[in-house]
C-alpha cells in the first residue's frame, strides 16, 4: 500500500506567507492619527479537499471565500483592461461622488516607486527631511516632514525633463 499524504502534511509543504493588515486610526492617547499594523501567517491549501476541511465543510463560508476571490480577480482584470478608461472621481455641489473622464497621464507603479525614492533623497538633501525634525511634537514633526517632501516633489515636477522621463 502506498502511503498517502494527510491534508495536514500537504499544508506543511506549502510556503507560509506573512500577511499584514494596516489601517490608519485616531489614537486618543497621543491625540493624533497613527498607522497600526497586524502581522500574521497564511498557509495556502494545495487541494480542494484541504480547503473544504479547513473551512469545516461550511458551504456558506466556502462560497463567500470563492466569491471574494472572484471579485478580487475581476478587479485585477478591470484594472489592467486598457479598453476600459479610468475616470476621475469628483464631488458635486451636494458632496456626492461623480465620475468624469480622466485626461491626465497615469504614472506606472515602477515609475511611482522611483519618483518616491527620488523625492525622499531630495527632501533629505535639500529640504532637511529627517526622522525627528521637530522633537517632542508628533504633529508638528509630521507636518515638517510632509512639507519637506512636498517641496522636493514640487522641485522635481517643475523640471520638464523629469516629467518627460516619468512619462516614458
pLDDT, residue 13, reads 59
Q: What is the mean pLDDT of residues 70-90?
A: 94
pLDDT, residue 66, reads 96
Would you kindly state where each structural domain of the chain is located, as residue ranges? 7-79, 105-167
- pLDDT exceeds 70 at position 6: no
Contact call for residues 88 and 117 (beta carbons, < 8 A): no
pLDDT, residue 118, reads 95
pLDDT one-digit tens code per residue, 51-75 = 999 999 999 999 999 999 999 999 9
pLDDT one-digit tens code per residue, 97-156 = 999 999 888 888 899 999 999 999 999 999 999 989 988 888 899 999 999 999 999 999
Per-residue confidence band for 9, with pLDDT thresholds at 50, 70 and 90: very low
Amino acid at each position: 500500500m502506498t502511503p498517502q499524504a494527510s491534508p495536514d502534511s500537504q499544508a506543511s509543504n506549502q510556503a507560509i506567507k506573512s500577511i499584514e493588515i494596516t489601517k490608519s486610526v485616531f489614537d486618543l492617547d497621543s491625540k493624533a492619527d497613527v498607522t497600526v499594523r497586524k502581522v500574521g501567517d497564511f498557509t495556502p491549501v494545495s487541494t480542494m479537499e484541504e480547503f473544504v476541511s479547513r473551512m469545516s465543510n461550511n458551504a456558506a463560508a466556502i462560497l463567500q471565500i470563492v466569491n471574494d476571490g472572484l471579485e478580487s480577480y475581476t478587479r485585477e482584470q478591470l484594472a489592467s483592461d486598457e479598453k476600459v478608461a479610468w475616470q476621475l472621481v469628483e464631488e458635486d455641489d451636494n458632496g456626492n461622488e461623480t465620475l468624469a473622464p480622466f485626461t491626465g497621464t497615469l504614472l506606472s507603479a515602477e515609475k511611482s516607486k522611483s519618483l518616491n525614492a527620488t523625492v525622499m533623497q531630495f527632501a533629505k538633501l535639500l529640504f532637511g527631511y529627517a526622522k525627528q525634525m521637530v522633537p517632542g511634537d508628533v504633529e508638528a514633526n509630521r507636518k515638517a516632514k510632509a512639507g519637506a517632501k512636498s517641496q522636493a516633489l514640487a522641485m522635481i515636477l517643475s523640471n520638464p525633463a523629469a516629467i518627460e522621463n516619468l512619462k516614458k
